[in-house]
Structure 1
Amino acid sequence: MENRLAELRKSNGLTLKALADALGLKDNTLSQYETGKREPKIAMWERLAEFFEVPTPYLMGLSDDPLGWKQWEKQTGFSRKQIQDEITRLLATHHLTGNEPYYSQIGIAVIFLNGDGETDTGVKRYVDKQLQQLLNDVRSQYEDPQKIMELSKNHVDHAKTPAEKSVTIGQLIANVKDPSSIFFDDMDADVYNQISEIISNARKQIASIETK
């Protein structure tokens, strides 16, 4: 089947040269893509599809669905009706203005359906992620790089198999039974524990907040 490259280029008011320049291609190369004399690699198909905000199969002429509903349903687990209803809700609550390309509206609706949008649940998840990152940052402030390197060296020296040797430093740190053993000597593990407990309790309190 003929691809829709020329059709989309023209419907967007772009000349062959303008599109070629935007993509960093030669006019002749793009012309050959449009006429089918030359087949783009899949990475180029995907780049072109992203440029026109359409599914790759639609651009290639393999699908008549410019919004890729089947792909959205397959990849997200949400039905077309669920996504459309969410778009309607987002427009009513002003999370969407209606000026966004419809393809973008679908993507935003999926984000909200997954609970990661600007909703009470989304904010809870966002704060929880930030607190988890803060907890990680606090621990990193206490960890002595020299002790961590010694931990890694000892592990490699005593590892018996390639799999054991391939364990990452992050995994080694996570498996340390006594975190204070890799802390700086002049830092108090009790203070670390108190800070960690406060952050952990904050995560629990936020998780307990009921949303509508």
Structure 2
Amino acid sequence: MNSKNRIRQLRESNNLTLPELSTKLMESNQLKLSSDAISKYERGDREPKLATWEKLADYFKVPVDYLQGRSDDKVGWHLWEENTGYKKETIESQISQLKKFGKISENESIQKQIGLAVSYLDGRGKTDRNAIETASMELSELDNRIHDDFYIDPNKTVNEEKLGNSRLRNMKTEYDGSLYYDDMHKEVYDHISDILQDTRQKLAELENKTPNK
């Protein structure tokens, strides 16, 4: 058993009694632990299951191995480096940049700050390029939704063998609109689609002019 875990240390640093920690664990992590059970974990008289270690670590916002006393890395930098491929210095630099532009709050936990920084490093953050890509994707989905929801009559059948894996909206130059509702007009949909495609093209041109930051 591990008698050098940091459960008691973290509990006391958060000014929590055993009953208070028991209550907060249930409220925040749905982890049902009695005061007696927590006390035994603290003394090393009983070893928590892995799922319990993980929920305790999540509550205290530390890595499991730090909570277990196996590492002195309270933030878990080595785990972030191993799992993301980014060095600590690279992540810290990204955090500083995001704080500079107000995209990370000083009040957020270090784990959340790191997670947000990694999302930007991975190209998933709130950047000009991602805004453009999102707009383009939404326009494509809008085109599809307009076509399927407004024009295709579900009571009419289609030759799946002829179409294969292609969708009708991607064949509009060849498709005659025979599966549309009788009161819907192919030329109107084509015009809507052309407008959306033209806008996507302008977004692509804008993306090429936008710095990759």
Of 81-90 and 55-64, the range deviating more from structure 2: 55-64
1:199 aligns with 2:193: no
Structure 2 counterpart SS, 1:14: coil
Match of 2:78 in 1: 70
Shift of 1:85: 0.8
* Match 1:208 to one of 197, 205, 208: 205
Match of 2:25 in 1: 23
Q: Distance in 2 between matches of 1:198 and 1:63?
A: 58
Q: Distance in 1 between matches of 2:58 and 2:191?
A: 48
Match of 2:173 in 1: none
Match of 1:168 in 2: none
Q: CA 1:133/1:39 → structure 2, altered by over 3 Å: closer, same or farther? A: farther
Give the greater-gyration-radius structure (CA): 2
Structure ranking higher on relative contact order (CA contacts 8 Å, 6+ apart): 2
Match of 2:105 in 1: 97
Match of 1:22, as an amino acid?
K
Structure 1 counterpart SS, 2:125: coil
Verify the 8 A CA contact 1:5 1:34 in the aligned structure 2: yes
Q: Distance in 2 between matches of 1:34 and 1:88?
A: 36
Give the structure-2-normalised TM-score. Answer: 0.72
Unpaired runs of 5+ residues, structure 2, are 27-31, 170-176
Give the structure-1-normalised TM-score. Answer: 0.73
Verify the 8 A CA contact 1:116 1:125 in the aligned structure 2: no
After superposition, what is the alpha-carbon deviation per residue over 1:6-60, rounded to whole angstroms, capped at 9, x for unaligned?
2212112222111211222222232233333333333332222222222222223
Q: Distance in 2 between matches of 1:191 and 1:128?
A: 21
Q: Among all aligned residue pairs of Structure 1 and Structure 2, give the percentage whose two residues are the same amino acid.
A: 39
Matches within 5 A, 1:14-53: 14-24=16-26, 25=32, 26-53=34-61
Match of 1:7, as an amino acid?
Q
Shift of 1:84: 0.8
Shift of 1:109: 1.1
Taking only aligned residues, the RMSD between alpha carbons, in angstroms, comes to 3.1
Shift of 1:192: 3.4
Aligned pairs, number: 192
Match of 1:175 in 2: 165
Structure 2 counterpart SS, 1:9: helix
Q: Distance in 2 between matches of 1:57 and 1:109?
A: 23
Q: CA 1:6/1:200 → structure 2, altered by over 3 Å: closer, same or farther? A: farther
Unpaired runs of 5+ residues, structure 1, are 159-172
Matches within 5 A, 1:69-88: 69-88=77-96
Q: Distance in 2 between matches of 1:178 and 1:39?
A: 60
